[in-house]
Structure 1
Amino acid sequence: MQISDFLLPKDKVAYIASAATMLEAMEVLENCHYTAIPVIDEEGKYVGTLSEGDLFWKLKQTPGLTFDNLNQVKVHEINRRIHNESVSIQAHLGDMLHLAADQNFVPVIDDNGTFIGIIRRRDIIEYYTTNITD
């Protein structure tokens, strides 16, 4: 088994650009029904994970910020409380499994640090349930 065997490729993953607005991020989260998504910079590099809680705390802690002006805040301006560590596509399977124990998904990067997809903890559990247990 390799990390690539579990990869959900970027074109099938909900993610947000760091230059996107807070309103766009809320819409992506609403449409994909996830509570957190990867954040990608203008070069395609993984820079962190944005969660619903990050958006909530930004709204709560920013005087004058309302639903009417969320398009004035960029994703890169939002403090992120959780940082899902990424794993290289070339890493050992054990490295990915270690991260998946604490993260709902593991962002996967190539040798240049470019985001290429995620591995969902759910997929790992389903694989082991199907292939390891009776």
Structure 2
Amino acid sequence: MINQAIDQMMIANRKHFMIPGEVVASVAEDNKLRHAFLVLTKVRYAKIPVLDNADHFKGLLSLSMITETMLGMDDVSLTSLDTMCVKDVMQTDVHTVEDPYDLENVLHLLVDDAFLPVVQADGTFTGIVTRREVMKGVNYIGHNLDDFYDVTPKTTGSIISR
């Protein structure tokens, strides 16, 4: 369980952690891989969300998922870019969090994921919570905790790391 003081400071900044879906690069599950390849190349993100026509979150897509379809034993073929769709290669086993999200759960999941898709109860994509934005919040706490709380050590011993 997160320390109550830290939890309160993190919750106060919760709105800054999520990047709204309207400004997040995404592709549709029915887009051809050629379109997705161009989008991923232009935005320079490792992975982007995949949505259906009703803006429901369906999975994630990376450049490596696309290039894997292009690689043969002896050469590279661009045919798959025009014949396959995003839904044919996207990752579907993705951690998501529901809006409003539980901060402690987000912190646990961001250990392994650079960002988490945020969805509404019906699966509609709302945005992403990034490790970068959460780390900015942790940085804020590290620099401002004593502006809000009197912090004194309980013992003079060292802090044990896990």
TM (norm. structure 1) is 0.86
Paired residue for 1:129? 139
Give how far 1:100 is off. 1.1
Counterpart of 2:127 in structure 1 is 117
Q: Which of the residues 90, 112, 128 maps onto 2:100?
A: 90
Poorly superposed stretches of 4+, deviation over 2 Å: 2-5, 64-69, 130-134
Distance verdict in 2 for CA 1:100–1:35, change over 3 Å: same
Deviations 1:55-83 (A, max 9, x none): 12122259x97235512211011153x74
Determine the structure 2 residue equivalent to 1:103: 113
- Residues 56, 125 of structure 2: 8 Å contact kept: yes
Distance 1:30 1:78 in 2: 17
Q: CA contact under 8 A between 1:4 and 1:89: conserved in structure 2?
A: no
What residue in structure 2 maps to residue 29 of structure 1?
40
Amino acid at match of 1:15: S
In structure 2, what is the equivalent of residue 50 of structure 1? Answer: 61
* Number of residue equivalences: 133
CA displacement at 1:4 relative to structure 2? 4.0
**Cα-Cα RMSD:** 2.5
CA contact (8 A) 1:10 1:117 kept: yes
Moved more, 14-23 or 94-103: 94-103
- What percentage of aligned pairs have identical amino acids? 26
Higher RCO structure, 1 or 2 (CA under 8 Å, sep 6+): 1
Q: Distance in 1 between matches of 2:47 and 2:55?
A: 18
Counterpart in 1 of 2:84? 73
Q: Mark the runs of 5 or more structure 2 residues left unpaired by the alignment.
A: 1-10, 145-162
Shift of 1:42: 2.1
